[in-house]
Amino acid sequence: DGGITQSPKYLFRKEGQNVTLSCEQNLNHDAMYWYRQDPGQGLRLIYYSQIVNDFQKGDIAEGYSVSREKKESFPLTVTSAQKNPTAFYLCASSQQGGDTEAFFGQGTRLTVV
């Protein structure tokens, strides 16, 4: 079945650590996105990529980094510079162009301990 797989589902980070969230898709989509979700704030765009080896900052990119070495993969690293990383992270993908919806993974809940 085609879809988007995020792993792990739950992740715990100690203060000062970098952690990487995985996102893989087999939908052959060109565009991929990372969103952060906090209660009452909806989805905020962290980074997006419309083609391999290229990505752009979203609204809240500070303290995060990404790579897009393969079409299928778009990992997100939460660095120690992100002061408030506890949140629910959602990865999505879509075809290029506005007339297509985004498909979402099941999310990763990151907690700082």
Residues making contact with another protein (CB under 8 A): 4, 6, 31, 33, 35, 40-43, 45, 48, 50, 58, 88, 90, 92, 94, 96-107, 109
CA 31 to chain centre: 12
Nearest approach, Cβ of residue 111 and another protein (Å): 13
Nearest approach, Cβ of residue 46 and another protein (Å): 12
Output the DSSP codes for 44-100: EEEEEEEETTEEEE-TT-TTEEE--SBTTB--EEE-TT-S---EEEEEEEE-SSSSS
- Of the pair 82, 93, the CB lying nearest another protein is at 93
- Of the pair 16, 97, the CB lying nearest another protein is at 97
Nearest approach, Cβ of residue 56 and another protein (Å): 9
Using alpha carbons, select from 1, 3, 5, 2 the residue that is nearest to residue 74. 5
- Of the pair 16, 98, the CB lying nearest another protein is at 98
